[in-house]
Structure 1
Amino acid sequence: MMRVKIKTAIALGLLNLGRVLFYRLGVKLGFNSVKKITAKIEPGVFFNGRDSIRSPLIPNSQWLNQQCYFGWLIKASSEIPNWHQNVLTGVSVKAPMDPWWKISDFESELGDIKGVWEASRFDWVLGFSQQVALGDKSHLDTLNQWLNDWVIHNPPYFGVNWKCGQEAAIRVMHLAIAVIILDQTTKTSRTLLSFIKAHLARISPTISYAVAQNNNHGTSEAAALYIGGSWLLANGDKDGAKWFKQGQKWLKNRAICLIEDDGSFSQYSVTYHRVMLDTYSMVEVWRNSLSLKPLDEVVYTKLQLATHWLFNMTQFETGDAPNLGANDGARLLPLTGTDYRDFRPSVQLASVLFFKKSAYAQQGDWDFPLYWLNIVKPKLCIEESISLDMPKGGYAILRNQYAFVLLNYPKFRFRPSQCDALHLDFWLQGENILRDSGTYSYNAGQKYIDYYAGSQSHNTVQFDNHQQMPRLSRFLLGDWLKTRFKKDLRSYDSKVEFSVAYKDKFKCQHQRSIVLTNQSLVVADKVKGFNNKAILRWRLKPGDWLLKGQEFTEGNHIVSISSDVKMRIELVKGHESRYYYKENIIPVIEIEINQPGTITTEYVFKK
């Protein structure tokens, strides 16, 4: 195991490990300046009314007379939230006024800390500011009351809501979008400016730790420094210059480092990809609002690639996308009342900002962010999605006019979060037929981490009950897999084909070959090198699926299973989590063989 840890440490990057070590020692021993900062935010008027009423637009009403968390959890209350209570468990923080660095991320009694943080991300600020912009003065009072209450119960830098730099960054970004909606970017109240300044002072000393994670933390915190620093400057506070410059530096660095040349993002996750893309979209919206100098051209090139990646993953019919990778329930720019799993508003906004073209020519809810942010929708559109291989991130997309197939294969320059090598997602006319699992929670118990991140929660093969990669800690896997064989994606005669294989540290081998036509999807899984058994799982959409011989059907579609060796075939229950902390039961096909062989699955669909 020591060999695995050393190998993984090298893969993570010695510079990043040094950054983490220096941060932790700095906080523990007291030489990091973050432990020395002080600030005071006096309650007062955060927002004033808008001078002119916006023309009729549709706001996000998810926080209207209720509270909405993670895109699905509704609390029937219009009262000010308890900023220190976990909305997932109902448990409150024991010591809400402790310095943030004394508070654990994973206190077992409190439960998932994200349940505490969620209300303090300020999604409601956006919804309330939209209501104010439409002339509802009552929501101006509510907006100021809630913000003042937050300040009273969360003085800098005490309590759980100051613990994470990214959480502070998200508050800054949401408040920035609110002042754009209310036309107060250069006439911001002193109270709000002091609030922003206190947040930047918290974020800046620890951004090296965020950068070391090689994920959304670095992009979010860089964005907050860029936005907040220029915000202060625009309102006459020269202290903003250092933060603006720092944010500008890391926005460029993170885009170059974390976005691959095929548009893939470092976290191998659709929802985290949206977090990153929405972050840069907010930066660009803010930059335009203050007429700041454009970012470097290389940044825009990377963002075009990242936009195209999410465009390719998103199903136009529903706006949904594969539940690929970790899913923490984040939706950073909820300016529409669309579902959490509707990615079209983010795709449309990014496409217009970075391509100067629309992703979707049709009118729809996905256009609302453009209207709220005073952006004109272009008539030109980006090219339609096609079948393609994205070798930097390890994704192959096979597509025709009816169906969409995603196959992810191991190509890890950054740390993987799930054992999902050769997972296959299948969609038919916007409906997810063969599905991925999601995450459920980061702190609901080890059994949930093992299940949702394990091979058994993906449409792939599991060998001898072991995982594709060993778990070293809560967020770290070792022995990162590598692709051993790949046959180039081919499109011809109404067919699309792709084949790829890997071998794990136990010398177990899995080769998956795919053929997609206008009538069917055929998948051949060739396995060998295992000791006792190989289990292939197909995670089906919910429905009344029945096993008839070697075929499964729910009335409309048929899944046929065959093998060149003896097999066990069974329909069992599994779980999925398409929204954070929400779990559903789904039917799962299990096929087990006990010797090397090939399992062939054919999905015949009706158009």
Structure 2
Amino acid sequence: MHLAMAALLLEQSGSTTPSLLELIRLHLQRIAPTLRYAIAQDNNHGTSEAAALFIGGNWLATHGVREGERWQQLGRKWLENRAARLVGEDGSFSQYSLNYHRVMLDTFCMVEIWRQRQASSRFSPRWYARSLAAARWLYAMVNAENGDGPNLGANDGARLLQLTDTDYRDFRPSVQLAMALFANARAYETEGVWNLPLRWLGVELPQVLAEQPGSCQFDNGGFAVLRRGAVMAMLRYPRFRFRPSQADALHLDLWLGGRNLLRDAGTYSYNTEAQWLSYFPGTASHNTVQFDDRDQMPRLSRFLFGDWLKTSYLEPIGEQVGAISFAAGYRDGHRASHRRGVRLHDDSLVVNDQVGGFRHKAVLRWRLEPGQWLIEGNALSNGEHVMQVHASVPIVRFELVGGWESRYYLEKSQVPVLEVEIHQPGSFITEYRWAS
């Protein structure tokens, strides 16, 4: 696929050397027999290998290579299948990951750019509808100020289409390209490096500006995005049609402009010490409640949890005077229950956590923006923002501890984490207040 994009950049896709065509043929000859294995994983492996077969097969076919047409049709078939199965009607992707959503979307963009340049027949209306929905999903999650977004799900450094010198965590180039291709609209009005991929790949920048993201619920994947001006809260709730890679039910991210005030830990590494393999995907590395020192779901292997959670309570996004709200809840395999209600105001976030059914203890965690946080009673402050936590039952422990996050693969750094512990069923009320 990178060879194909390079050929487009160098205007060599129509007059390719025999040696390069042979290299493409050998690649596809390797991919085709094992395609079913990639498809069975229900993730980016299937979308990427289908894309390679379509692009490479078309490339070979236009140069008279006999196997090319068969591989092209095989790739087209599975691209259609993967979009229909792995991308929900609301754009949610099977991997529940911001980074792997970008990988999938960049793949579909490369496919569509190649198809247009080669004047091949269009894909089905459903394929374009799912691609558009996926573009809008990423657009809704990404902060326009710096291009960053919640550190959701698996984040191993994968970045398929790098045509800018932007930071790895700047998703705007992918958003702009996908919105231009599938919405015929630009996500970002001003000139910036996010337009470079369009120029490199010969995609016209639309004149129409896409509607700015508002509050929205992506129920196929289990995401609620609440917005008030420059503030965004994202609540993750369990809708697992595909295997979850993290025990992150009811995790809450909070953003003020480009600042990630309440944050996810990320991934760090797939191949490291057992403590990190357990910590980063586990419940303790998320802004949620942990029961009895265990994960919300039992771990079966390095990449697999069992007894997938199901949402048992849902209150859709609602508008009140001066606030927007959402709520969801679950009951796990041990009969412990957690229901979280979120209200976002212009200058504060209020979270109501109702918990019960646990054996010994429930620990609420808030993973904070790095800074000098100090505890005063049942509140803590960094001199700019204030967080208060109250409970309907006695608080056994109210402690600021050191936690970890990994914004980039194989890199980890410490973050302050507030832990609030109770030993009886009850509720927590958290208020996070910033200057309006």
**Normalised TM-score (structure 2):** 0.98
* DSSP 3-state at the match of 1:293: coil
- Post-superposition Cα deviations, 1:240-286, rounded to whole Å, max 9, x if no partner, equal 11110110000000000000111100011110100000000000111
Matched, 1:339 2:173: no
Choose which of 569, 586, 589 in structure 1 pairs with 2:398: 569
Match of 1:481 in 2: 309
The Cα of 1:289 is off from its aligned counterpart by 1.4
Residues 81-133 of structure 1, C-alpha deviation per residue, up to 9 Å, x if partnerless? xxxxxxxxxxxxxxxxxxxxxxxxxxxxxxxxxxxxxxxxxxxxxxxxxxxxx
SS at match of 2:94: coil
State the partner residue of 1:105.
none
Corresponding residue of 2:196? 368
Quick one: distance in 1 between partners of 2:375 and 2:356?
27
Q: Does 1:545 align with 2:373?
A: yes
1:223 aligns with 2:223: no
Cα drift, residue 236 of structure 1: 2.3
Are 1:606 and 2:432 matched, yes or no? no
* Distance in 2 of aligned mates of 1:174 and 1:259: 23
Please report how far the alpha carbon of residue 466 of structure 1 lies from its aligned counterpart in structure 2 after TM superposition: 1.2
1:201-241 CA-partner distances (Å, limit 9, x unpaired): 11100010100000000000000000000111122212211
Shift of 1:492: 2.7
Write the letter of the residue equivalent to 1:242.
Answer: R
Q: Which residue matches 2:81?
A: 253
The two structures, once aligned, show a CA RMSD in angstroms of: 0.9
Percentage identity across paired residues of the two chains = 52
The structure carrying a bigger strand percent of its residues is 2
Deviation at 1:494, TM superposition (A): 2.4
Other-structure match for 2:414? 585
**What residue number does 1:386 align with?**
214
Partner of 1:532: 360
Aligned match of 1:178: 6
For residues 388 and 239 of structure 1, what CA distance do their matches in structure 2 show? 45
Please give the secondary structure, in 2, of the residue aligned with 1:415. Answer: coil
Distance 1:579 1:231 in 2: 35
What pairs up with 1:173-322 in 2 under 5 angstroms?
173-322=1-150
Report SS of the residue matched to 1:299.
helix
**Amino acid aligned to 1:501:** G
Amino acid at match of 1:490: G
Cα deviation code 1:560-602 (max 9, x no counterpart): 1111111111000011111111111111000000111111110
In the alignment, structure 1 residue 491 sits paired with structure 2 residue 319: yes
- Runs (5+) with no aligned partner, structure 2: none
2:196 maps to amino acid: F
Cα separation, 2, equivalents of 1:361 and 1:297? 27
1:573 counterpart letter in structure 2: G
Distance of 1:348 and 1:277 partners within structure 2: 11
Tell me which residue corresponds to 1:455: 283
How many matched pairs?
435
1:400 aligns with 2:258: no
What letter corresponds to residue 601 of structure 1 in structure 2?
T
Structure 2 residue aligned with 1:377: 205
Instruction: After superposition, give the CA deviation of every residue in 1:454-493 in whole Å (9 maximum; x if it has no partner).
Output: 1000000000011110011111110000011111210132
Distance 2:393 2:189 in 1: 50
How many angstroms apart in 2 are the aligned matches of 1:448 and 1:519?
A: 35
Determine the structure 1 residue equivalent to 2:426: 597
Amino acid corresponding to residue 205 of structure 2 in structure 1: K
- The corresponding residue for 1:14 is none
Provide the rounded CA distance (Å) in 1 between the counterparts of 2:377 and 2:320. Answer: 33
The equivalent position to 2:271 in structure 1, one of 427, 443, 446, is 443
Distance in structure 1 (CA, Å) of the matches to 2:290 and 2:316: 25
User: In the alignment, which residue of structure 2 is the partner of 1:159?
Assistant: none
Quote how far apart the aligned CAs of 1:604 are.
0.6
Deviates more, 1:582-591 or 1:381-390: 381-390
Letter paired with 2:304: L
Q: Which moved more, 1:403-412 or 1:289-298?
A: 289-298
Residue 582 of structure 1 aligns to which amino acid in structure 2? E
Q: What is the Cα deviation at residue 291 of structure 1?
A: 1.1
Q: 1:432 aligns with which of 238, 245, 260?
A: 260
Q: Distance in 2 between matches of 1:239 and 1:302?
A: 29
**Aligned-partner residue type, residue 416 of structure 2:** P
Larger radius of gyration: 1
Q: Distance in 2 between matches of 1:346 and 1:403?
A: 22
1:209 aligned counterpart, secondary structure: helix
Structure 2 counterpart of 1:576, one-letter code: E
Where in structure 1 do 4 or more consecutive aligned residues deviate above 2 Å?
A: none
What is the identity, as a one-letter code, of the residue corresponding to 1:410? Answer: P
Distance in 2 (CA, whole Å) between partners of 1:327 and 1:202 is 27
Task: Report SS of the residue matched to 1:582.
Answer: coil
Deviations 1:527-556 (A, max 9, x none): 111111000110111111111222111121
